[in-house]
Structure 1
């Protein structure tokens, strides 16, 4: 992670979402591009491993959400990154604002290794 942490997390989430929504590439290939094979995420207390991440791509692709990300703050310490951001999403005629508190670690190549996310929809 050589870039500013705000830019890094914004680019990471935006690129991952763009690849999932705007390509027909195999979801497993996309997930592997952005995550280590042993990735584990905890989103609002729910454990999500690689297989569950891949399964999550189906509804994302079906709904084809549009959105933007507003990073309020982000700090990095070595391979660890903490960020607070808002996802502004439009899908199926609804507009949502989702506040996210993110704590994660990344491999030297920039792939996510672990993440803890707390979210709140406004």
Structure 2
């Protein structure tokens, strides 16, 4: 299924990294529709060695919709070339009970011909207790 949407990760990786979490968590659109705009139907995210398919990721989105009140994404580095993407960014979520969860993510992905993500391998670490320091613009 191709999409005429020009904000696909292959066209605008930084836009995807910052826009997608907001659309998925706080948008009024069905999470499956948001997911499909940016990812292929057979998309798999392997996070810290754990594979997550579309259904598991949509279940995670439902929990996010219930529990998160704010999400901020700071992109440190991003590159898209030759059907591949790579990024280093920090995603910070404020939860309803006041907890702040900050995660540093190193992402490496493969794109489909229409620019959507087909597969992502990522490593993440909790940086919630670290001083974020000054904001760094993406390279």
TM-score class normalised by the smaller sequence: 0.7 to 0.9
Q: After the TM superposition, which segments of 4 or more aligned residues of structure 1 sit over 4 Å from their partners?
A: none
Q: Can you list the C-alpha shifts for 1:10-46, whole angstroms capped at 9, x where unaligned? A: 3113222222222232222221111101111101111
Larger radius of gyration: 2
1:68-79, aligned counterparts within 5 Å? Answer: 68-79=72-83
Cα pair distance change 1:79/1:28, threshold 3 Å = same
- Partner residue of 1:106? 111
* Structure 2 residues not aligned, in runs of 5+: 1-5, 128-139
Q: Could you say which structure has the higher helix fraction?
A: 1
Q: What is the TM-score of this pair, normalised by structure 2?
A: 0.74
The TM-score, its normalising length taken from structure 1, stands at 0.84
What does 1:1-122 align with in structure 2 at a 5 Å threshold? Answer: 8-92=12-96, 93-122=98-127
Q: Structure 1's 34 and 76: CA in aligned 2 closer, same or farther, altered over 3 A?
A: closer
SS at match of 1:47: strand
- Count of aligned positions: 119
Q: Secondary structure at 2:12's aligned position in 1? A: helix
* Cα deviations by residue, 1:54-82 (Å, 9 ceiling, x for unpaired): 21111011113412211111223311011
User: Over the residues paired in the alignment, what is the CA RMSD in angstroms?
Assistant: 2.2
